[in-house]
Structure 1
């Protein structure tokens, strides 16, 4: 690798490539903040998948978003033409956080004098001018460490999601319509996951809410669901002995509505998925149940914790498991005690 030589006239345009997932796009926002701080006059572009665009809406560190919609790129030639269009904006710096085939096309076409990424396999090294081995630790810090050849270091910057006042007002309307009353504490709940090794059993969540009905009667739970998951949520609620402490919206919320509801909550509780990162990004304390994943996804501050069985095999980062012991043996009674103690200590007080 050569040493970085920036343009004499200054850096005019930067492209950051982070296609997916929703949580990972949020985890890239500290890097965007650091780039803005280092190059305040530069135009910062982000290449991401369409489903993730809403996570960047209103972000002052983003000037242009290039939404990749795979359904609209109907042929190989249309796809390559679009990559050429994105790459042809005259970028001085391109940062690729993923090295996916689609981002590699853009990196190759860009011709940017500085092209950064994590250490690539030997056959991809021709695409990048500089690379680093990501630092171990919190995921957003690890991602931001790719910027170190530019003299940029992560210093505790957290993910950020910017909500408009009207979005917060809509969230309050949703919560009131669902039955949240004055004086009640709100815990948003993320009980689903597409990976079975990261999903605490639904019946455990039901049992936790039953315990809360007896021991923390002022707490209300608002469960979220994604496409195709509503039936799972309703089965979970039906398994509760007393569901008076569960608030159910009358429809699936959009990502921005979900984020605004989390911002109104006293605490967020759930699996290791995007909502936990949304909670960090809107300053809501979190308590996350861990299965296959490790603590690198937990923001390093006291208001964000995780609870796990702490088996010798954890974290395994696997997507399949014959026993799921780390999740099945993690008792609802234990998670309730940890979560409620955290809520009592760090839970936000709403007006």
Structure 2
């Protein structure tokens, strides 16, 4: 392992690769804040996707600008077959990055990309099969993502931006434009509002829809049910199962608008997915339903305002395939792995947070 911890002299431009999903970005924010603290006068450019630019452009925070990458397999696109277009690296090298930081993953695909940026120093994560960077730490799957990326930032002099545990939880600024979007699309949110987010990109992380409805009915609060277009069916299922009325909000708001909606909520109850991280990042208490393995990597780090409920299922409920063997292929079954969490458990934590 290479030299760790010394800041790089003369750094004026920093490139950071983090080009995946919403939760991934939010979990990387403490590391970005740490880099900003170490290099207060440098320009930090996030190499990401177009939606990152939409969210972060003009928003207070550690990122100065975003370069939206085209689809590149293993870098900005999961599917195979997407090569970096001709001329891309000439364009990126034209930014004259002094430091390039990889907080994207193990590095098998992303480290060769980062090395081609032409930065004086590269730093990041390395799985055993990845090309080495100038400064690196090993990528070990079961590590909390926030701490993983802070460890990378520490390679080049970054430190958490305060002394309290709370600084480890990601923070995202909400803007007046975000709040105006909520007012335009939904009007004035009612006081004591609770949001439910019953979707998740992986169906195995979804708590049963009828249980979200049962918890909401017990709380007796105004309820909004949020989701993306792909989650419309489960949002409608939750709303139909509730005895009391709720407001569905499917693809109604941008990510910034959703942040502003959550900011107005007394509580967000969610599966382990990007919107739970978003709610926490704007300071709203959350109850999250987690599969045990995912809790290690992506659960909240504090418990004053955030309560994860944990399913200890370690094998597929249908075929028994292991969920903890990292060498095993994913089985084809999409049943919930978090159905072991009860309505009583979630309702108890929700009531406690609501006071």
TM-score interval for Structure 1 and Structure 2 normalised by the shorter chain: 0.7 to 0.9
Deviation at 1:322, TM superposition (A): 5.8
Q: Which residue of 1 aligns with 2:319?
A: none
Q: Distance in 2 between matches of 1:313 and 1:342?
A: 31
Per-residue deviation, residues 227-264 of structure 1 (Å, max 9, x unmatched): 22223311221122x232x1224753221111110111
Matched, 1:331 2:310: no
| Larger helix proportion of the pair | 1
Q: Distance in 1 between matches of 2:112 and 2:354?
A: 46
Matched, 1:118 2:120: no
Deviation at 1:312, TM superposition (A): 6.5
Count of aligned positions:
329
Q: Distance in 1 between matches of 2:345 and 2:253?
A: 30
Q: Distance in 2 between matches of 1:327 and 1:99?
A: 27
Matched, 1:92 2:98: yes
Q: Distance in 2 between matches of 1:250 and 1:33?
A: 31
The 1:308–1:267 alpha-carbon spacing in structure 2 relative to 1, beyond 3 Å, is: same
The 1:76–1:87 alpha-carbon spacing in structure 2 relative to 1, beyond 3 Å, is: farther
The one of 208, 226, 229 aligned to 1:227:
229
Could you tell which deviates more after superposition, 167-176 or 60-69?
167-176
User: Does the 8 Å contact 2:49/2:70 carry over to 1?
Assistant: yes
Q: Distance in 1 between matches of 2:324 and 2:21?
A: 16
Could you tell which deviates more after superposition, 269-278 or 157-166?
157-166
Q: Which residue of 2 aligns with 1:349?
A: none
TM-score (norm 2): 0.81
Tell me how large the CA RMSD over aligned residues is.
3.2
Deviation at 1:11, TM superposition (A): 0.7
Greater than 6 Å deviation, 4+ residue runs: 4-7, 75-78, 312-315
The 1:260–1:7 alpha-carbon spacing in structure 2 relative to 1, beyond 3 Å, is: closer
The 1:28–1:300 alpha-carbon spacing in structure 2 relative to 1, beyond 3 Å, is: same
User: Does the 8 Å contact 2:38/2:158 carry over to 1?
Assistant: yes
Q: Which residue of 1 aligns with 2:354?
A: 343
Q: Distance in 1 between matches of 2:334 and 2:250?
A: 35
Per-residue deviation, residues 197-226 of structure 1 (Å, max 9, x unmatched): 21101122122223x2xxx32x12211111
Q: Which residue of 2 aligns with 1:187?
A: 194
Which segments of 5 or more consecutive residues in structure 2 lack a partner in the other structure? Answer: 317-321
TM-score (norm 1): 0.82
Q: Which residue of 2 aligns with 1:141?
A: 147
Matched, 1:238 2:249: no
Deviation at 1:338, TM superposition (A): 1.9
**What are the within-5 Å matches in structure 2 for residues 16-31 of structure 1?**
16-31=16-31
Q: Distance in 2 between matches of 1:322 and 1:230?
A: 21
Q: Distance in 1 between matches of 2:345 and 2:3?
A: 52
User: Does the 8 Å contact 2:99/2:121 carry over to 1?
Assistant: yes
**What are the within-5 Å matches in structure 2 for residues 53-92 of structure 1?**
53-57=53-57, 58-70=59-71, 79-92=85-98
Deviation at 1:93, TM superposition (A): 0.7
Q: Distance in 2 between matches of 1:186 and 1:341?
A: 15
Q: Distance in 2 between matches of 1:146 and 1:268?
A: 31
User: Does the 8 Å contact 2:312/2:340 carry over to 1?
Assistant: no
User: Does the 8 Å contact 2:291/2:313 carry over to 1?
Assistant: no
Which segments of 5 or more consecutive residues in structure 1 lack a partner in the other structure? Answer: 345-351
Matched, 1:305 2:316: no
